Amino acid sequence: MQSTRIKGFDVSRISLGTVQLGLDYGISNSGGKPHREDAFKILDCAAKNGISVFDTAAAYGDAEEVIGAWKKQTEEKCPIIVTKALKLNHSSYETLLESLRKRIEESKKRLGVSQIPVLMLHHYEDFENDEKNIMRAFKELKASGDILLSGISLYSNHDYKKVAECGFDAVQIPMNIFDWKQIENGGINALNETGMMVFVRSVFLQGLVFKNPDELSNGMSFCRKPLEDFRGLCKEFGMTPASLALSFALSVPGVTSLVLGGETVRQVEENVELAKKVTELSSTQMERIHSFFSDIDNRVINPNLWGV
């Protein structure tokens, strides 16, 4: 699989998102969380097909434990693990550092690793409200060898430009073909200019891009027109919904890897095949997409507002 050499790592075009291995997740998830044996097969499939990053978090149910248990019984090379910390104590710098170290030790134990390759803040507010101490703590954790790289997970309403100025090594952001806010305001470009790893999640918007506009529930009727326009663009470009969604994200400058989950081995295999076939969209195609979705209803791009 195609990869990018960045920050000392070879990062594959797609990363395996593991939230589905620890929780029931996504509006298109009909099978629920896979059994442990099936989860191992998913991880095996990803590793064998050249996926070099597993994305996880302490908040993803028992996903870290699943990865750790898989590592003990596999002969496959363990991919780079990106995990995320939350529930930090900001009462003083010392307590912040202690709480971060505690989260790291908990994750290392569950994952069965001696060092966290990439540790991200799970909540932007931990950074926003204590920026100086957070960056100081990450610097100390890197120097001590507790982690290799620092990062932060963001939502599209956060201040990407502020994050870009602060020295993180990696960032995870949501991106999908309907949401142009951070492209229009220069936020993604600011991240790109720092040279940090940029991991993109939610390219399928929790499966919304696969929904038939005619089969939406009443609570999702506001998605009908955007989905009809999206299907029209797929036909115009001669692409499937999945290939257009991926090609769009990988055509945005600075994107390192797309975080794609999988509830089955077949889904992982399909994602691998998709990654091999995606093409960089032309500027004309990107402008055409922008013309449809530059002023979209915020409910479409915010799953918290979906009345499923």
Q: Mind listing the pLDDT tens digit for each residue in 192-205? A: 999 999 999 999 99
Backbone angles phi, psi at 283, to 5 degrees: -60, -35
| pLDDT band with cut points at 50, 70 and 90 for residue 305 | confident
Inform me whether the pLDDT recorded for 137 exceeds 60.
yes
What was the pLDDT predicted at 30?
52
In a domain, 297, yes or no: no
The total of other beta-carbon atoms located within 10 Å of residue 91's CB is 8
Question: Is pLDDT of 27 > 50?
Answer: no
**Full residue range of the structural domain in which residue 172 is found:** 3-210+241-281
CA 185, distance to chain mean position in Å, is 21
pLDDT by residue (tens digit) across 176-226?
A: 999 999 999 999 999 999 999 999 999 999 889 999 999 999 889 999 999
Q: What is the pTM of this model?
A: 0.93
Range 80-104 average pLDDT: 97
Structure tokens at 23: 């929780």
Residue 291 is assigned to a structural domain of this protein:
no
Helix (H, G, I), strand (E, B) or coil at 168: coil
Alpha-carbon distance values, 224 to 8, 71, 259, 291 (Å): 44, 43, 26, 17
Give a yes or no: residue 109 inside a domain.
yes
In a domain, 290, yes or no: no
Letter string b/e over residues 138-156, b meaning 16 or more CB atoms within 10 A of that residue's CB: beebeeeebbbbbbbbbeb
Contacts of residue 193, Cβ cutoff 8 Å, sequence gap at least 6:
164, 254
Question: Does the structure show a pLDDT above 50 at 29?
Answer: no
- Flag whether pLDDT at 71 surpasses 90: yes
The verdict on residue 58 lying in a domain is yes
Task: Compute the distance between CA of residue 190 and CA of residue 25 in angstroms, rounded to an integer.
Answer: 31
* Statement: residue 28 has pLDDT above 90: no
How many folded domains does the chain comprise?
1
Task: State the Cα–Cα distance between residues 11 and 141, nearest whole angstrom.
Answer: 22
For residue 59, being part of any structural domain is answered with yes
* Predicted confidence band of residue 308 (pLDDT cuts 50, 70, 90): low
Tell me the C-alpha distance between 36 and 4, whole Å: 31
Residue 30 belongs to some domain of the structure: yes
Q: The domain spanning residue 12 has which CATH number?
A: 3.20.20.100
Whether residue 235 is contained in a domain is answered as: no
